[in-house]
Structure 1
């Protein structure tokens, strides 16, 4: 006789499912019960937090509620922090939460204590759910919620979620899809990895897997890839890479669900609004509570391995991508730069990526091209 786990799935599968459900609850502005060795708490994001829910959480509290903020947001509040922290909430005051979490020019108005493991777990849930990474944490007696429908998840399950998704990565579909300028192209769809959708490998031509394969890791950019936004060079990089591969014996472009450097489309639009007010791309993200880059690339390396690739000629300006592939065990034989057209709207963005994130971009040459009208 079995305990049922062998039939219904492994312990890892069950933990992953619980985290996925918790992510859905976060996105729906409903609380999640996070359970650790030292206690439990109801946690919810600040997005969609309204008075009826705040009042219900306050009634259930067995200790002082708190607002947990990431280090990036604490820096915008005027504090020199590299780790997340928490502010006590004697009452769950929505105006005060909004001030600390979202107001551009706010300052810290109360002591900020170090975040504990449960706090950091709540922040990770917000990041996984692609919501603003600021959370309300309400200590509760878990026994009082035994009969409730609230979703519950363990700290370890959230901590291990990303790495388990890499292990579960698998191909779920593939088909030839001829493209303009690259008629011999195959789309290979993977389930798992990062984000909330599937990942796609675009195999252009017939690359020789016994030699270094030209590879690009391309994070999805709805505004640039699809609509031709002038604020970035993503669309040019995407199409230019595929065209180059078609002319040069093939290659593989990984199209990764990492919109807005892993922050999600909603947060990307919030950051764009801040950029319209004068913030650069990284300062805008910091106002929202995000560090320079939230992306991970270990799952991208696993995609390449499942396609039979061991050595790569990587097409990127981002040294983090190069190092990530090397750390995964792939051999990076060479690097190629990928630069799109400069515009009045994107040169500051490109300069920020060079100066603040170490991207290898010759902005002097870009400015010269822009001046020449190329």
Structure 2
């Protein structure tokens, strides 16, 4: 079994192609399999072998308009569904397209880990404080940065603490998932950059009144699908799909962020109660389920612009964010 993003290097071809259930549904192929199980990956067999080019045409929705599918395709029985799900989860973690070339079609592909083992490797309990330092920032010259790292995960999350810890004040906390395009490049397609800046300044204002704040900067680009896949989703948005449908067409979840890690970071900082800056009730529920006490949800809505108005409307209408 070979990820299609690396198969071209060796000029590989395969009898079958493994895709996620949502991608197969997008292509209207999932119903070809008898007794299809909702959410189960689909193994496709084509009229010809899948070369890298043909596999990409099926797996990458950016090609849907330019490369109409030339079937017929048949959905084969999948006797190794657990291994298939593990492979697709590894693809998501790696930030690559969730599709694999598989040959021969009757053989069970060797997968070194199971879903349970993947979850164990990502267990937030492994996360530890790696380092800390003073970090003057534009919003506050007295901020402190704390870095977190796990021996089983290469991602390094950080917390920025603004103000002096006080037992009399519940900290203002913002969970911010990494967004290279918005945070660094100033993208107008989302509201991430302005939200990050506004959160830091709100914490600085709280510190001036004796309070304090904590920004958790989570390394989970694109809501957990990775930078490259996020840019693939941008391509689909330019074709008219909203953010939810773009992820679905890619065969990826709309929400794959890890809130257990955020709760672990707060625990290591010995923060038990927080005022959470968010417009997303699901984020409140997810953190509460991890044992974090949220005393107040602090709205964090910012004005839209012509480039992100639809993105924010999708957040409100399809993802339940409390936005005007």
Contact 1:171–1:189 (Cα < 8 Å) also in 2: yes
How far did residue 361 of structure 1 move?
A: 1.0
Within 2, Cα distance between the matches of 1:209 and 1:163?
Answer: 32
Instruction: State which of 242, 267, 270 in structure 1 corresponds to 2:232.
Output: 270
Structure 2 Cα separation of the partners of residues 162 and 283 of structure 1:
30
> Which segments of structure 1 move beyond 4 Å, counting only runs of 4 or more?
105-108, 139-142, 193-196
Aligned twin of 1:104: 64
Q: Deviations over 1:274-310 (max 9, x none)?
A: 2222222222222221122121210110000100011
Q: 227, 232, 237: which one pairs with 2:195?
A: 237
Aligned pair partner of 2:258 in 296, 299, 320: 296
User: Do the aligned partners of residues 114 and 129 (structure 1) sit closer, same or farther apart at CA in structure 2, a change above 3 Å counting?
Assistant: farther
Secondary structure at the counterpart of residue 217 of structure 1: strand
Pair 244,114 (structure 1): closer, same or farther in 2 beyond 3 Å: farther
Q: How does 1:143-162 map to 2 (within 5 A)?
A: 153-155=112-114, 158-162=117-121
Structure 2 partner of 1:367: none
1:127 partnered with 2:92: yes
SS at match of 2:266: helix
State the SS of the aligned residue for 1:272: helix
What is the distance in 2 between the residues matched to 1:339 and 1:260? 19
Q: Cα–Cα, structure 1 residues 360 and 50, in superposed 2: closer, same or farther, change >3 Å?
A: same
Residue 191 of structure 1 and its aligned partner are, at CA, apart by 0.5
Flag the 1:138–1:125 CA change in 2: closer, same or farther, 3 A: farther
Identify the match of residue 345 of structure 1 among 304, 307, 315: 307
After TM superposition, the score normalised by the length of structure 1 is 0.74
Distance 1:294 1:203, change over 3 A: same
Q: TM-score, normalised by structure 2?
A: 0.84
Q: Indicate yes or no: 2:34 matched with 1:77.
A: no
Cα distance, 1:259 vs structure 2: 1.0
In the alignment, the residues of structure 2 paired with residue 261 and residue 180 of structure 1 have an alpha-carbon distance, to the nearest angstrom, of: 26
- Residue 136 of structure 1: CA displacement? 2.2
SS at 1:87 equivalent: strand
SS at 1:298 equivalent:
helix
SS of aligned partner of 1:203: strand
8 Å Cα contact 1:195/1:262 also seen in 2: no
- Asked if 2 retains the 8 angstrom alpha-carbon contact of 1:69 and 1:84, the reply is yes
C-alpha separation between the residues in 2 aligned to 1:332 and 1:184? 26
What 5-or-longer segments of structure 2 have no aligned partner? 32-37
How far did residue 212 of structure 1 move? 2.8
SS in 1 for 2:217: strand
Residue 180 to residue 114, structure 1, CA distance change in 2 (3 Å):
farther
Deviates more, 1:67-76 or 1:304-313: 67-76
Match of 1:88 among 45, 52, 55: 45
The answer as to whether partners of 2:87 and 2:111 remain within 8 angstroms in 1 is no
Please give the residue correspondences for 1:150-299 in structure 2 after superposition, counting only pairs within 5 Å. Answer: 153-155=112-114, 158-164=117-123, 166-192=124-150, 196-209=154-167, 211-248=169-206, 249-299=211-261
CA distance in 2, matches of 1:233, 1:93: 40
CA spacing shift, 1:139–1:307, aligned 2, 3 Å: farther
1:356 aligns with 2:296: no
> Within 2, Cα distance between the matches of 1:120 and 1:226?
34
